[in-house]
Amino acid sequence: MTDYGYTVDVPEGYDEAVIRARLALRSEGFSILTEMHVGGMLGPEAGDERQYLFMGAWSAPEIQHLPDGVQVAAHTPCNVVVQETGATALVAALDPAEALADEGMPLNEEMAGLTRLALERAFQRISESA
């Protein structure tokens, strides 16, 4: 984990990074609820042809391990970005617990820990070549 959350470079490029990110997140129990491609919308200084994808992923940690009183519908939001960086790509995500804390949202510490572990495993999978 970095100061900004989680990052990993994918030398095989943008398309491979998108596939790996989707598969790794889903394998760790994240649901990808939204995807928004904003390549070309970042202004000419970012490059009109640059690929840039936001994924709105939500984590439902292992609810059965959480203390009584936690709602089954409790989820942790994770924004994941896949961006083209020349011939390679970067996949990044903010630490969801820190993002919620910055917004003043309450977060169960055990749920935050489970989500962080799931993100760490997902980013490890993304970094592994096929």
Mind listing the pLDDT tens digit for each residue in 54-87?
A: 998 887 655 445 555 444 445 566 789 999 988 9
Longest CA–CA span in the chain (Å) reads 51
Structure tokens at 62: 């292992």
CATH number, domain containing residue 42: 3.30.310.70
Half-sphere exposure of 80 (CA within 13 A, CB side): 35
Report residue 96's pLDDT band, with 50, 70 and 90 as the boundaries: confident
Number of structural domains (the chain) is: 1
* CA angle (73, 78, 80) in 5-degree steps: 145
- Domain assignment present for 1: no
Q: What strand order describes the sheet that includes 52-59?
A: 6-10, 88-93, 76-85, 52-59, 30-37
Residue 48 is part of which domain span? Answer: 6-127
With a threshold of 0.85, does the pTM exceed it? no
Range of weakest confidence among 17-21, 85-89, 114-118: 114-118
pLDDT at 90: 95
